[in-house]
Amino acid sequence: MSTSIANKERTAEIKIIIAFEQEFRAYQGTLAAAVRILRPDTDVVTAKPEKISGVAKRFGPDLVIGSRCKNEDMEGVPAWIELSLNPAQMTKVNVDGEYSEVANPTLDKLLAIIEEVAQLTRTSDL
C-alpha cells in the first residue's frame, strides 16, 4: 500500500495548498475534495491561513488557494489565488508573476487556472 502512495506522490502533476479561516473550513474541505476528484493527478493539502508559510516550505506547492495570500507567505510559490468569499469583491489571481482579478469565479474557472499552472509546471520541467 505504501508503494501506491509513493507512486501517487511521484506522479502528482501539481501541488496545491488550500487555506481558509475557521468559519470557512467546510468550504475549504469541499473545494479540496472537488479538486481531488476532478484532478486526481493533483496533490492537495489544506492548512490554516496562519500556517501557509511553514506548510509551503515543507510541501513546495505550485499553487496556493486561500482567503488571504500575504506576499511573505507566497515566497517561492509560482501561483496563488486569493479567493474572495464575498461575491461583491474581486478574487485576486497571480500566475507566474501575471496578476489579474476575477469576479466571483466558478469551480470551472478555478479548474482552468489550475490547468494553466499545471501547464507552466510541465513547461518548466522540460
Q: What is the domain count for the chain?
A: 1
- pLDDT value, residue 58: 92
| Partners of 79 in the β-ladder | 95
> What's the average model confidence in pLDDT over 107-113?
95
Instruction: Count other C-beta atoms under 10 Å from residue 2's C-beta.
Output: 6
* pLDDT in the model for residue 68: 79
Q: CA 54, CA 57: separation in Å to the nearest integer?
A: 5
pLDDT digits (tens, 9 = 90+) for 39-98: 999 999 999 998 988 999 999 999 999 987 777 767 788 999 999 988 899 999 999 999
User: Residue 10 sits in a domain of what CATH number?
Assistant: 3.40.50.10850
- CA torsion, ordered 29, 30, 31, 35, to nearest 10 deg: 100
Q: Which domain holds residue 86?
A: 2-125
